[in-house]
Structure 1
Amino acid sequence: MTQRKRRPRRRAGNKEQSHRLIGWLVSYQNDEMGESHEIRSGRTLISSKNGLDGKVIELHEQSIAAPHSAMNASPQHQLVLQDIFSPSGTFLQRSADKDESKVNGPIEVHHGDWIRIGEQTKFQVCLIDAPHRM
């Protein structure tokens, strides 16, 4: 009987971890059926232009700067949002709150929270449970 060679078990490396699906930003503002943008681990810029290095969510609204905001998602499914000195700001509304507050520094965002970019563009954050929770 011939024994099959076992391949060494691959550990999740940086490349695999940098593309892990974390969740989505969802909006019904421009499309009643909904519009979504994937959130993957690593840094993602929110901008009015796509000519920037790295992952970019391109939004077309006059009040959105290039770049406007940055999100950093960890492979452990934590999401941090930061405004990048944009003129019209980035705002966060917690799922349990009625009021939104301006993002002045890095802030952790949770499932169900709402993010407003610029004057009008609003997204709900939909995060997937981290694999260790399943």
Structure 2
Amino acid sequence: MTLVQTHPRAMSTDAAHRTVADAMDAAGPQVPDDMTVEVALSVMAAARTGHLLVCDEDGQCTNLVTRARLTTLRDSSGYTDRVRLRDITDAGGPFASPLTTVAEAEHAMRHRRLGALPVVDEHGTALGVLALSR
């Protein structure tokens, strides 16, 4: 697996010192944590994305949910149509700072088996998503 790059890079950029801000994708759809799983899946389908950034009432990013996770939950025996994203997300991350090196972020993502990692500023505002390609 290698990191996805969506922006052209200058040839002089040292890969060991490149930051997450250099490699991240746009933040993409951000949804409130009171959204239901069914609506979130519809938003993902409409946006043609595999993940959504979940934000609290103050607009701070609290987590990232994937289509695979929501589909698995929806297909489980205990699922009801009243389940909201705040009920299933792990508040508090993990997140990356835009100043984190790509190497550090990639190591953390592999260790935690994450396909995507939200990038947030010091106020918790989502700036983008760092994704591993398959």
Q: TM-score range by the shorter chain?
A: 0.3 to 0.5
* Highest RCO, 1 vs 2 (Cα 8 Å, sep ≥ 6): 2
**TM-score normalized by structure 2?**
0.32
Q: Higher strand proportion, which one?
A: 1
Q: Which has the larger radius of gyration?
A: 1
**TM-score normalized by structure 1?**
0.32
